[in-house]
Amino acid sequence: MNTEFLLTSLIIIASPGTGALVTLAAGLSRGPRAAVIAALGCTLGILPHMLAAITGLAALLHTSTAAFEALKYAGVAYLLYMAWMTLKADGPLQLDADSCAQSDWGVIRHAILVNLLNPKLSIFFFAFLPQFIGQNVEQPTLLMLQLSFIFMAMTFMVFIGYGVFAAGVRGRILANPDILKWMRRSFAAAFVGLGVKLAFVQGNSVS
């Protein structure tokens, strides 16, 4: 296995982003089980981007301004929706002692949508993975699948780490109303910030 691929993937995965934020929120609001479910949802949200890259659809996103902009602004709108719902006391990402009422499907659905509506992932697979596939490889598609699933497995494990850590400090946060209010506002602001950042992403950028 290419060490450079593993190190680069780890840096990309561990960098703060929407998936990590959703998993942290799940761990804080609903405990370790919800954190694992959210990590799974974020990981599953990678699949469409991976398949798009392998089938060549990512090339369309990379070259078609209209297609890229449509997906991008759908992602921006959803991130702003997540920010609004986080601020609401009865929203799906509420951080309070009664937040366990949300179903597992509700957690995983939001996690999937966050990554599904992120066009940067498609561009990432389109621009990043081919660098680790040599021209003389007999089965490039198979190798791309293998690297993609390794990337997904790493994503799952790193996000579980984020979520379980958040679940570990959950009791202290829920016991303090001031911290609880600050955390809700901080998560909402983070979603808005990520939405604004995504709005300025260009079709040829994966950073």
The structure's pTM equals: 0.70
d(CA 45, CA 157): 15
Nearest to 5 by CA among 144, 118, 141, 120: 144
Q: Per-residue confidence at 30, pLDDT binned at 50, 70, 90?
A: confident
Assigned domain for 5 exists: no
- 19-56 exposure pattern, b = at least 16 Cβ within 10 A, e = fewer: bbbbbbbbbbbbbbebbbbbbbbbbbbbebbbebbbee
Assigned domain for 204 exists: no
* pLDDT of residue 6 exceeding 70: yes
Assigned domain for 95 exists: yes
Nearest to 92 by CA among 159, 40, 37, 22: 22
Number of H helices and E strands in the chain, helices first, is 11, 0
Assigned domain for 2 exists: no
Assigned domain for 3 exists: no
Q: Per-residue confidence at 69, pLDDT binned at 50, 70, 90?
A: confident
Assigned domain for 157 exists: yes
What pLDDT, on the 0 to 100 scale, is given for residue 150? Answer: 92
pLDDT (tens digit, 9 = 90+) per residue, 7-27?
878 877 887 677 888 888 888
- Mean pLDDT, to the nearest integer, of 118-135? 68
Assigned domain for 4 exists: no
Number of domains the chain contains: 1
pLDDT (tens digit, 9 = 90+) per residue, 73-102?
877 787 787 777 777 655 545 555 444 555
Assigned domain for 1 exists: no
Domain span including residue 138: 17-199
Who wins on pLDDT, 140 or 24?
A: 24
Indicate if the alpha-carbon torsion angle 109, 166, 115, 192 is positive or negative: positive
Q: Per-residue confidence at 206, pLDDT binned at 50, 70, 90?
A: very low
Distances, alpha carbon 203 to alpha carbons 28, 78, 126, 132, 144, in Å: 34, 19, 11, 22, 22
